[in-house]
Amino acid sequence: MSQPQFSPRIEALAAAGISVAALGGAGWLGWMIGWPDSFDTSDPDFVNPFSIMILGLLGVAGWFGVKAARNEMRHRAFGNTVLEIDPPGHMRLGGPFAGRLRVQKPVAATGPFRLVLTCFDVHQFEDNGRFKTSNFPVWTGETTASADTDATHGLPFRFDLPASVGPEPVPSGILPGTGSRHRMTVHVPGMRKVVAGNIPPVGRFWTLVAAAPTKGPDFRAEVVVPTDRPRGKSRLP
């Protein structure tokens, strides 16, 4: 079983792809309908859906372009990060979860390393007749490592996991023995929808994030923690 790892370069390439696509979309709209004559928001010629779409796409291109550059700088400074889990090699609720995050290159941290383990439940909700999913944190734990820790030898961590983090995920979102489901969501302006119904999630995953300040690009790595038992080689009796 391969070890989970975080690659800043993959993140950089994904962000660069989105940036290029958004920039291309803005260029196509500008070529088809023409660029706004004025970017003054009080100008009646500016306030139209197409001008707003062009500016929105340019904003998306800029945001993801900066994100791509930042991740590429992290890749050159720190390389990849690999998650090494102590036996039994996977996460088990109700017990300790320990291991280390091994970084490919040294990290000259100017402050302590923060390692945050978070469990996310994936809930499904209906929005304008279409089902969408959203991730909600249901449990989190945090530990630290001193700034002089050699990250190439591994950033050690240990978390005491709870016995339960809520109802077990049901892929259909329907509890066994029921033929239908009732789902209620609350929408706060400026925030994402919040699941308010007493329903099981459709999925669940855990992430481990390590971060530390440096004189250059801040160190940050995020890996998805495996929850399944590693598959061993089968043997014949």
pLDDT along the chain (237 residues), means of 10: 80 94 87 63 59 84 94 94 90 93 96 97 79 88 97 96 89 56 51 59 94 95 84 47
Smallest CA-to-CA distance from 99 within 112, 110, 115 is with: 115
Tokens at 89, concatenated: 């090699």
- Tell me, what amino acid is at 168? E
User: Residues 118, 220, 7, CA angle at the centre, nearest 5°?
Assistant: 95
Measured CA to CA, the distance from residue 91 to residue 89 in angstroms comes to 7
CATH architecture of 80-227: Sandwich (2.60)
Q: Which helix (H) or strand (E) holds 32?
A: helix 8-33
Can you give the pLDDT at residue 186?
A: 52
Residue with tokens 């080689």: 233
What is the structure's pLDDT at 166? 86
The whole-model pTM stands at 0.76
pLDDT for 42 equals 63
Query: How confident is the model at residue 237, as a pLDDT?
Result: 40
Contacting residues for 117 by C-beta, under 8 A, at least 6 apart: 97, 140, 141, 142, 157, 159, 206, 207, 208, 225
Distance from C-alpha of 98 to C-alpha of 102, rounded to nearest angstrom: 13
